[in-house]
Amino acid sequence: MEKLKREDIKTLSAQLQDGWEVAEERILRREFKFSDFLGALAFVNKLGGMAEEMRHHPDLHLSYGQVTVEFTTHEAGGLTEKDFEAASRIDML
């Protein structure tokens, strides 16, 4: 997989739901809010199944009522189309 160029990152970012942000042109991040810990944990479990199916795993930060999801493709040294595909699938969960 090839690392995306700045223009491609902007184009693909515009296709995602609100809330996703790109940090340093190498991390795609979004925070999700929940009313309690169990809701956040259930989301993480669904997301984990999707990530395993795609064979593309995000960094997940779970806390009470909140999950932060971060994608980057380490092999490419930045963001790839697969990161944006995974984010789009999360938007559908």
Crossing angle of helices 37-54 and 81-91, in 10° steps, is 140
Active centre residues (catalytic): 52, 56-57, 74-75, 83
Burial of 68 (0-12, 13-18, 19+ CB in 10 A): middle
**Which residue, chain included where needed, has tokens 């990152």?**
9
